[in-house]
Structure formats: C-alpha cells, structure tokens
Amino acid sequence: MSSGKIASQTAHAAVSLYIKAKSNPIFFIEIDTWVNTGQAKIVLKGLDENSLIDFETKASDANLISQTVRDAGRTQVEPGALTCLGIFGKISEIDKITSHLNLL
C-alpha cells in the first residue's frame, strides 16, 4: 500500500475506535482524556491478516476495544482485505499484545 493508503486505513481505524469508545461506558471517560491529552497513537507494522486477527482476539480477551479495517478494494488491495487493526486502551495493556512489533 502507498503511504496515503496506509494513512487512510489507519484514520479509519482511529475514527471507528473513537466512536466505539465514546459509546462504551467503560471507556468514554478514558477516550475524552485521550483526546484532551494529545491523542497519542503508535503505528506498528503488522505481519499478515492472521496475526492481526490473533491480536484482535487477544485485545478482546484483555477487555480492550479493537477495530479491524477491511478495504473496499477499489485501489491497491483485494476487496475485503484486512488492512489494519486499531486497539484502544492503556499502553501497558496493549504492549502485552504488540510490543514485539516494529514501528511503521
């Protein structure tokens, strides 16, 4: 994917996670704090679709919010391709799942 395509997939995950968190009583204060303290994001390089699905399961097991992005496939990737996984929560919790990945 081009830088622009990666950016749009990441933005999709971020907006969707924000909406999910705002509608979840467990997270809606935490998400406002996140917005008001700089919206920290860490973008990591995934390996393949299966590993993203595995991370999604682990995030769910850890009671974190996650959001997969599947692309319509009009450009650059096949329709329905899993391009991005977003996870929202405490960094210490997310690190348990993704700390072995490199920055993108």
List residues binding a copy of itself (CB under 8 A).
2-16, 18-19, 35, 38-39, 41-45, 72, 103-104
Buried b (16+ CB within 10 A) or exposed e, 63-92: ebbbbbbebeeeeebeeebbbbbbbbbeee
Contacts of 31 (CB under 8 A, 6+ apart): 18, 21, 22, 88
Rounded to whole angstroms, the Cα distance separating 20 from 61 reads 17
Minimum CB separation from a copy of itself for residue 67, in Å? 11
Task: Specify the residue, 3 or 50, whose C-beta has the smaller distance to a copy of itself.
Answer: 3
Minimum CB separation from a copy of itself for residue 21, in Å? 11
Minimum CB separation from a copy of itself for residue 81, in Å? 15
Task: Specify the residue, 41 or 90, whose C-beta has the smaller distance to a copy of itself.
Answer: 41
Task: Specify the residue, 45 or 100, whose C-beta has the smaller distance to a copy of itself.
Answer: 45
